Amino acid sequence: MPQQLPLDELTLALARINGLLLTEEKVDRAVQLLAEGIRDAFPGSSGAGVSLLDEHGNRTSTGATDPVVLEADEAQYELGQGPCLTAWATERTVLMHDVATDDRWPLWSQAVRDLSIRSVISAPLMAGTRCLGALKIYSTQPGAYDAATARPLEKLVVPAATLLANIQSSEAPKRFTQVLTSALLSRDTINRAQGFLMHRHGLDQGAALQRLLELSKTSRQSLFSVSTDILTETKSGPDDG
């Protein structure tokens, strides 16, 4: 029997992986556009930013309209505190009327004192029950945002988060690679065990596979584990079987 790999499937698998990696770029682009759109939609805002976080609170993607937003953002993740992290963790919109007098995140307020940021509103990116991250709008003026800002912002955030959830898949390529790697490892192990049996007992490939299948059937162990056993025994010293 000719050993032919199902190349169609491997090609498809690789295409899927590449496709997913491309998707990550698309996420960055989408996040960037979202930040710009939000800044433009809320007059009086100096900048806006969107951060996607994984379940441990690590940033996976960031979009910002200007360097000030990035710097203020950076400070939050370095210090582990700030309005966006709170919005993400509590899954509620956070309003900060005046950075200079609000004492909820003292380290962060201190860090952004020299940036032209006076008021902030940050909303969680909720996709169903999952919180993907947070977006925020900054203003150079205190008291720029209130509950009347929060409502349209929250309305905007829900569909945005749903769309982001569908293209955000930074975990998927990793998982897929693991599946492919373990499939290839298993194939390789079984092939080597077949080769060993062929050599040891003078069998052809088909007969060697039959022998492995028999062993697997009678021992109720998987073909992979039977093959692993054979190869381990080979290492630890051959018998005359």
Partner 1 sequence: MTGDGDRGRPDPGSGLEQEQSRLLRKALHHAGIRHGDLWLRYFSIGGTVGEYEVDAYIQSLMSLPPDQRDLIAHAANELIDEFPPLPRAPYLEDLIQ
Binding footprint of partner 1 on the chain (CB under 8 A): 1-6, 8-9, 179, 182-183, 186-187, 190-191, 194, 206, 209, 213, 216-217, 220, 222-224
Looking at the Cβ atoms of 3 and 232, the one nearer to partner 1 is 3
Contact (CB, 8 A) for 26 and 19: no
Angle at 80 between CA 78 and CA 84, to 5 degrees: 105
Dihedral Cα 199, 202, 204, 205, nearest 10 deg: -30
Looking at the Cβ atoms of 30 and 190, the one nearer to partner 1 is 190
Looking at the Cβ atoms of 5 and 147, the one nearer to partner 1 is 5
Number of residues assigned to the chain: 241
Give the C-alpha separation, 185 to 188, whole Å.
5
Q: Min. distance of Cβ 121 from partner 1 in angstroms? A: 45
Across the beta sheet with 47-53, what order do the strands follow?
A: 59-64, 47-53, 130-139, 119-127, 94-96
Q: Min. distance of Cβ 190 from partner 1 in angstroms? A: 5
Q: Min. distance of Cβ 183 from partner 1 in angstroms? A: 4
Q: Are strands 59-64 and 130-139 parallel, antiparallel or unpaired?
A: unpaired
Looking at the Cβ atoms of 160 and 208, the one nearer to partner 1 is 208
Q: Min. distance of Cβ 4 from partner 1 in angstroms? A: 5
Q: Min. distance of Cβ 1 from partner 1 in angstroms? A: 6
Q: How many CB atoms within 10 Å of residue 102?
A: 17
